Chains A and B, each alone.
Chain A
Amino acid sequence: SAVISQKPSRDICQRGTSLTIQCQVDSQVTMMFWYRQQPGQSLTLIATANQGSEATYESGFVIDKFPISRPNLTFSTLTVSNMSPEDSSIYLCSAGDSSYEQYFGPGTRLTVT
Chain B
Amino acid sequence: GENVEQHPSTLSVQEGDSAVIKCTYSDSASNYFPWYKQELGKRPQLIIDIRSNVGEKKDQRIAVTLNKTAKHFSLHITETQPEDSAVYFCAATNTGNQFYFGTGTSLTVIP
Contacts and interface: CB of A to CB of B under 8 A. Distances in A.
Given A31-B96, A31-B97, A45-B98, A101 B103 contact: no
B89 A102 contact: no
Query: By DSSP majority rule, is chain A's interface helix, strand, loop, or mixed?
Result: strand
Contact of B96 (A42, A96, A105): A96
Contacts of B46: 1, 101-103
A76 to B, nearest CB: 15
Interface string A78-113: 000000000000001000101011111111000000
A24 interface: no
Interface residues of A, number: 22
Contacts of B34: 100-102
A100 B93 CA distance: 8
Interface of B: 32, 34, 36, 42-46, 49, 89, 93, 96-99, 101-104
Given A31-B96, A43-B89, A96-B96, A104 B101 contact: no
A77 interface: no
A48 B104 contact: no
Nearest to B44: A104
Interface of A: 1, 31, 33, 41-45, 48, 56, 58, 92, 96, 98, 100-107
Considering residues B49, B93, B99, which has the most beta carbons from chain A within 10 angstroms of its beta carbon?
A: B99
A100 B97 CA distance: 8
B97 A48 contact: yes
Contacts of B104: 41-42
Contact of A100 (B32, B43, B102): B32
A56 B96 CA distance: 13
A102 B49 CA distance: 10
